[in-house]
Structure 1
Amino acid sequence: MKIRMKVKHLVLTVAAMVVLVFLLSVVVLPQIELYVAEKKLANGEAEGKAQLMEAIDSTILPSQRWEKIQEYMIDGDITNRFDLYVGPSMWHGGTRVEGTRFTWKEKLPYLQDYVENGPINGYLATVAQEIASYYLRENNPEKAEEVLLNTADRFAPSQHLGFWNELMIKRIKLAMSYSDFDKAKEYIEEMNNSTTSDDYYVRAEVTTLKAEIIVREGRLEEGYEELMDAMEEYESHWAQEREEWAEEDIDLPINDKIENTIVYEQMESLKRRLERELSNGSQSIVNVSGQVIREDGRPIENAGVFLREENLVNRSIGDDEPYQVLTDENGMFEIEGVVPGSYQVFIGLMFEDIDGYTWPVDRDDWIVIDGSEDIKYSVTLQPLIEIKRPINNQNITDHDVHFAWEEVEGADYYNLNLGLQYESGGGVSVGFKEYISGNETKVPVEEIYNKRVGILMGDEEDYKYAHSVLGFMNPHNQISWSVEAYTKDGKLITRSNGYRLQEKTIGNLPFFNLKGRELTEADQLLLDGKVEQALEMYIEKYEENPDDIHSLQMIPRLIGIKGDGTFDSRQKLALPYTKELAERTGSPDYIYDVADYYYSRNSWDSYNRWYERYMDSVNRPDLSSYNQGNRASALLKQGKVEDSIPLFKEAMKKDNSHRFVGNWLAAELYIGSSFENVLKIAEEYPDRSYIGYREQRTDWVQIISHMEKERQEVPEYQQQLRKVLEMYFQGVDRDIDEWLSSTEEETMKDFVMALKRVDN
């Protein structure tokens, strides 16, 4: 059989095949390659990165090219300049998979192409600023400025004024970062000449930068005046704008408060710093310098170093940090023009910088700058402790758990921590044993079961967390553990938990499972979310068999659901069961709970008995700073004021948060110490306990200073103060509330109200 085909049909067929091949090679195959690369990146496969760059460089659509640069080299990459931010009071970051993030060497050509030829949008301004920061790190400020100016030229001010202003402000900040204040002032003048009063937000940003420059030049009072003028102008324009909106029936944005704007927050922060120092008569600024290295002396280059004042340390680190620099090739850094105050150092690291290491910094590690001299402060990363047993999800059915780890040179004792990874997701970690003298310890399983990790109150919303209350007694929960090494004076040397990302640093996995018990029927009810039924069954089982320690342990964890939702009612309901647990187990945790119950009710005879039992039960050479401050407060409230003072003094030296300093000040004032001496104590031990515990900072220095002035104007001030302090010591809340509502001594009132927050 012969097939005949006309020439024109043959030509059409060949043409169709050519088109098909073209479509396959130019459209379809690049899309397949792009899909495969993205899939690998999503799975954390490092080779996906190279394949993605090949796909971007291939013949994918131009719009796709910019989209993929945005998605993989800008979003979540530029906006988080470091994988991890580490500081005394907070760690954050740490979500990317090792090997999938683009290095600057890899992405710089794409980002440069983006600023030169990419779409004109917010990404363009962001990329330009980050490239400028990169060139600054490379000691090339001229190139940094060139990128900003060239990108600004792409934005027509009439259409993209916001982005144009953003780039020009970045130019000022760059000049400030390498301390070329003359150039920064020149740029500020240019911006002031190019903006109008309608641009009041931008003008506030620029004037705040000008005030910072003046301060960093050492002229604090002049900088303060510049700042106050800027704040007054900003507040005026803000109010005027809202009046105009009201006349035009324009709805206000949600949470439209002036203090919620970033620039006003920055102005307030600078204002507080300057007022504090000017009130002390200070006109000095200092430099803070140091080095970021590993324990073996290897420097960490291009690490971020952030000097953060007290009111910032609980917030995520942003681009607007007032004091930030990068380390050089030797890990060295210097932050210039720092106003006196209390600061914490945070560092920004890439995963490869901290892989297998940790920064053993105390939560209350502070740099206190008084303006008298420059400060030296260095960061040394220490190798993580290698753990030996139990490891790698070992199932334990014995009556004891044997923990062991490598010995750390210079360690006088170790603390052991436990963690839970819940079957349903999430987890929690708790301190478990302290002052372990060697590098191993054997612990009865029952002691682990005793460790409480949570309780339920009266809020049914909490029932969804009911599974967590079973804690270490749930055989389906995976348990983790870690260890910390300390010197005899309580200085942390290193720890076992940290980032381990490569095969050589991963080592043994710190997980094990307790498989020595089965879930009871009540346990299963609890895990099923039937909390009330579970509690009733635990109570029933315990009443049937008083030796059922498990049911007895679970009752105080759940009994709060029968209360009114307050901790006080939960304590009352739990007390008889907690007492029984304390008697049966001898656990310091249960004994302390009973002592704390009597402390909160000023039942001092009972408190003292249980406190003595607690001291006999703990394995430590001395009191923790918290317990020492708490004990001093107990003596104070029992009327043993002079006995409390030495304990307060010791507690303050141990605890840099100075949580109980307010009670110490009250004790000193009560025994007749001069306001001058009390003020010195407040200055030496500033209250930082609000960080991580309370939202409100108590400025005892300010309160005591104002009380001294108030005292001079009010007859019999000391007698009135002593009387109200007696009410506070005795816990007579009703009398205190009556006094607070009737007194005319406003600063004394502030002092007493602040005292009421000390124990909360």
Structure 2
Amino acid sequence: MLKLKIKVKHLFALIVALGASFILLQLLVMPKVEVVVAKKHYEQGTANGKSELLQVIDASSGDDRWALIQQYMIENGSDLGTTSYDVIVGVETFYSNMVTSYPDEPHWTSEEKIKYLKDYLNGAPANGYLVRAAKQLALEYLTLGQTKNALGALEQTEQRLPRNLYNQSKELKLARARICVNADAFDAAERLLDELSLSSIPEASYLSDSIAKLKSQIVEQHNNKASSVSGTINRSDGKPMAGIGVFLRDSREVYHSLREDEPYLTMTDSEGNFSFKGVVPGSYVIYIGLSFDQIDGWTRPTKQDTEWIDIRGEENVTRNITLQRLIQIHSPVDEQVITGKTIKFEWEAVEGAAYYTLNGTLPIENGSVGSIIKDHIESNSIELPLETLYNAASGYSYTKIGDKDVPDPTTVLGYANPSSRFSWNVEAYDANGKLLTRSDGYRLNEKTMGHLPFFYLKEHTLTDADQLLLAGHMDDALLKYQADYERNEQDPHSLRMIVKLLGIKATENKQPLGADSIPYLEKLAGVDDNGNTLSSLIDYYGRIGNWSQVDRYYDMLNEAHQGKVPSYTQAQYGRLLLKQGKVQEGEEMLRQAQENDPSNRFIGDYIASVIYTSGNFDKAVGLANLYPERSYYGQDNPDWSKLVHGMSVESQGPNKESYFSKLQEALQGCFSGDQGHTDDWIDEPAFASMKAFITAVSEVD
């Protein structure tokens, strides 16, 4: 047996060495491990990830502390600026502005950001990060309605910056000037702008342009005769919403993302008030920008027909906005699997709601596509046959199969795909059709989260044709669906898929549905209680002039929608009535469509029908002023009021009766769709105003 002898002094040295190593491990190695673990947990969004990272920040000092705040708070934070809000809400538009290196990271509260950004401003090195920290801190203060603190943070940082960062110093001064203008502190704003103007600023630069715009804004806001738009933003529980970004956007810009040079922008004050002065004539909508904390569990219910603001000049318009609580959903939820022939949807009842609309969404890569499953539901629950979901009209996305972009088979299958995870939401409306609130929105913590709106439909078993479709063989799948349907005309799934695939082929060929599609459409119309195929049938029979079939299928559509046909289809039917020569009936249908169409897209047709039946230019001018055509995507639309007024002046004189007869003849050509006749007539040299009007009407689409 081997005996090991160790002297006492050697044993003591070993113990000392082990102790030193343990101390070294505790002092140097373990903290680094804790930092790495905390970072990882935060980036992955684990339950305690944020608290672990905050503990690490609190335990750090010097450059280590500032580096952590830079990486995890400042880098992905929102600075002062028009697009620096977590969520932008516009006309039927929700989108998140947040771009982050860590998609799963938890968000910081205002209290957390203020605490650590204040520390950063007081102790971190004076560099570009310091400027960003100041802007972010100012934004947090403004969100809380603390304008004085926001200005103080910017001024403090400006004083700390060294001379070599003079451009950043000017940025901070400009930011202070903007805040002063929005707070109606015009003297302070003008002083800051004068200081900037005295410094060396290149002409035609971003800074010089911004200074000029702010000075012009001050002048406009001093103009007591100029139009204004003001209001208050509150929650439905009465809480005023301070620090909300408010943007008044021209109709040509409403579907574009916010830009840094938005002409009308402000923030709500501590009482939730906002105001725009010096607003030039035009059509506008209000967009708002919110932090996640402000939108969590709430929504701004928006629909176009209640959101437009038309400014003619010297008006003071008030538009208040109320955020509403999101509707809580009850069933189906939390990835429930539906295997039967029916599905029951249930949700929280909303006070004042006359009816609800049930919507569903299909998953696509990086998003989803939605569709209406059932509208005008008068109760807060409904049990539907799965056939209703299978028949629901839905869009489809494209995916790459091999080297080709093809319609994504999973979205073409829609709710008949047993592998897809679906979701749903509801909207509540009052008796006048005003949207009250919805279930779909931002739910970011345990109190607001509730049930998740996901479910699976496992009732349908994939057919051989489905398998061909999922493999990307669309043409072969169509042939197989057609063969299956020929063998069994009681096969609604094959019939639906035939109609879908024929529709996709027509779209890709940029053609309307052909005659070969009509037998399938007509058979599907007989079993689809949603009426989704009826618009296509109305369009087809309208193109070939079979008016009895047009009327038949429009009546069926009207019944399917309980008398509430979408305005676009109403307008198209009105145009088909004009085409038949039923001008009075067409005028009435266009009137109904116009009242339900916030875009005023077909106002030209409506005005033309009114002029044709009444010869009353004054009435037509009144309608043009009441329903200005919205100019989407920057396009210039006709000024119908100006066009009609031009004809009114042109018609005066001894040939007034012949003028109107000539106008009726030209309008008949427009209504009939005889483009050749219209083009020939337009080439005639006389009646310039009439020709301009007829040209505009012939181009309505």
- Give the TM-score category using the shorter length: 0.7 to 0.9
SS at match of 2:285: strand
* 1:529 corresponds to 2:472: yes
User: 1:508-541 CA distances to partner (integer Å, 9 max, x unpaired)?
Assistant: 4433332222100110111122222212221222
Aligned to 1:643: 585
User: 1:8-28 CA distances to partner (integer Å, 9 max, x unpaired)?
Assistant: xx999979986x678645653
* 1:482 corresponds to 2:425: yes
Please state how far the C-alpha of 1:451 moved relative to its aligned partner: 1.9
* 1:545 corresponds to 2:551: no
In the superposition, relative to structure 1, how do residues 142 and 488 fare at CA in structure 2: closer, same or farther (>3 Å)?
Answer: closer
Query: Could you tell me how far apart the structure 2 residues matched to 1:490 and 1:140 are?
Result: 38
The code of the aligned residue for 1:110 comes to: Y
Query: Could you tell me how far apart the structure 1 residues matched to 2:530 and 2:106 are?
Result: 48
User: 1:408-464 CA distances to partner (integer Å, 9 max, x unpaired)?
Assistant: 333322222222236x77432211222223333332222222223246999995515
Pairing partner for 1:181 from 186, 189, 194: 186
Please state how far the C-alpha of 1:745 moved relative to its aligned partner: 8.1
Pairing partner for 1:681 from 623, 630, 633: 623
Pairing partner for 2:244 from 303, 309, 333: 303
Of 587-596 and 298-307, deviating more is 298-307
Query: Could you tell me how far apart the structure 2 residues matched to 1:392 and 1:290 are?
Result: 37
Aligned to 1:93: 96
Contact 1:458 1:565 in 2 (8 A): no
* 1:40 corresponds to 2:41: yes
Pairing partner for 2:610 from 668, 683, 706: 668
Query: Could you tell me how far apart the structure 1 residues matched to 2:506 and 2:312 are?
Result: 50
In the superposition, relative to structure 1, how do residues 531 and 106 fare at CA in structure 2: closer, same or farther (>3 Å)?
Answer: same
Aligned to 1:255: none
* 1:494 corresponds to 2:437: yes
Contact 1:89 1:313 in 2 (8 A): no
Query: Could you tell me how far apart the structure 1 residues matched to 2:204 and 2:124 are?
Result: 28
Contact 1:291 1:377 in 2 (8 A): no
Contact 2:126 2:162 in 1 (8 A): no
Q: Which has the higher contact order (CA 8 A, sep 6+)?
A: 2
Aligned to 2:154: 148
Pairing partner for 1:190 from 180, 183, 195: 195
Query: Could you tell me how far apart the structure 2 residues matched to 1:457 and 1:747 are?
Result: 46
The code of the aligned residue for 2:87 comes to: L
The code of the aligned residue for 1:590 comes to: T
Query: Could you tell me how far apart the structure 1 residues matched to 2:171 and 2:659 are?
Result: 55
Of 638-647 and 75-84, deviating more is 75-84
1:391-410 alignment to 2 at 5 Å?
A: 391-410=333-352
Please state how far the C-alpha of 1:550 moved relative to its aligned partner: 1.8
The code of the aligned residue for 1:348 comes to: G
Aligned to 1:75: 75
Query: Could you tell me how far apart the structure 2 residues matched to 1:409 and 1:142 are?
Result: 40
Contact 1:216 1:285 in 2 (8 A): no
Please state how far the C-alpha of 1:756 moved relative to its aligned partner: 5.2
Please state how far the C-alpha of 1:709 moved relative to its aligned partner: 9.4
* 1:618 corresponds to 2:560: yes
Query: Could you tell me how far apart the structure 1 residues matched to 2:538 and 2:40 are?
Result: 57
Aligned to 1:700: 639
Contact 1:286 1:340 in 2 (8 A): no
Query: Could you tell me how far apart the structure 2 residues matched to 1:58 and 1:486 are?
Result: 52
* 1:126 corresponds to 2:132: yes
Of 729-738 and 518-527, deviating more is 729-738
SS at match of 1:435: strand
1:449-464 alignment to 2 at 5 Å?
A: 449-454=390-395, 461-464=404-407
In the superposition, relative to structure 1, how do residues 641 and 183 fare at CA in structure 2: closer, same or farther (>3 Å)?
Answer: same
* 1:163 corresponds to 2:174: no
Please state how far the C-alpha of 1:39 moved relative to its aligned partner: 1.8
User: 1:94-138 CA distances to partner (integer Å, 9 max, x unpaired)?
Assistant: 879999322333233432454455455544333323334445566
Pairing partner for 1:346 from 280, 287, 309: 287
Of 424-433 and 670-679, deviating more is 670-679
Query: Could you tell me how far apart the structure 2 residues matched to 1:629 and 1:506 are?
Result: 41
Paired positions, count = 686
The code of the aligned residue for 1:490 comes to: G
User: 1:284-333 CA distances to partner (integer Å, 9 max, x unpaired)?
Assistant: 23251224122x33444443343333233323346654444444554444
SS at match of 1:131: helix
Please state how far the C-alpha of 1:554 moved relative to its aligned partner: 0.9
Query: Could you tell me how far apart the structure 2 residues matched to 1:453 and 1:146 are?
Result: 52
Aligned to 1:276: none
Contact 1:30 1:58 in 2 (8 A): no
SS at match of 1:453: coil
Aligned to 2:318: 376
The code of the aligned residue for 2:74 comes to: I
Contact 1:290 1:378 in 2 (8 A): yes
User: 1:572-625 CA distances to partner (integer Å, 9 max, x unpaired)?
Assistant: 55333212322454651122321122235555343223223333x414144443
Contact 1:414 1:485 in 2 (8 A): yes
Of 69-78 and 99-108, deviating more is 99-108
Query: Could you tell me how far apart the structure 2 residues matched to 1:146 and 1:459 are?
Result: 54
Query: Could you tell me how far apart the structure 1 residues matched to 2:449 and 2:398 are?
Result: 40
Contact 1:114 1:124 in 2 (8 A): yes
Query: Could you tell me how far apart the structure 1 residues matched to 2:634 and 2:144 are?
Result: 40
Please state how far the C-alpha of 1:202 moved relative to its aligned partner: 2.7
Query: Could you tell me how far apart the structure 1 residues matched to 2:122 and 2:52 are?
Result: 24
Query: Could you tell me how far apart the structure 1 residues matched to 2:448 and 2:158 are?
Result: 46
* 1:217 corresponds to 2:222: yes
Aligned to 2:358: 416
User: 1:518-570 CA distances to partner (integer Å, 9 max, x unpaired)?
Assistant: 10011011112222221222122223333333222111211256558334244
SS at match of 2:248: strand
Gaps of 5+ in 2: none
Contact 1:135 1:144 in 2 (8 A): yes
User: 1:661-708 CA distances to partner (integer Å, 9 max, x unpaired)?
Assistant: 1211222344464544433222211223x55xx662524247527845
Contact 1:458 1:560 in 2 (8 A): no
In the superposition, relative to structure 1, how do residues 699 and 31 fare at CA in structure 2: closer, same or farther (>3 Å)?
Answer: farther
Please state how far the C-alpha of 1:33 moved relative to its aligned partner: 2.0
Contact 1:385 1:408 in 2 (8 A): yes
In the superposition, relative to structure 1, how do residues 21 and 675 fare at CA in structure 2: closer, same or farther (>3 Å)?
Answer: farther
SS at match of 2:340: coil
The code of the aligned residue for 1:40 comes to: H
Please state how far the C-alpha of 1:470 moved relative to its aligned partner: 0.7
* 1:293 corresponds to 2:298: no
Contact 1:456 1:561 in 2 (8 A): no
* 1:363 corresponds to 2:304: yes
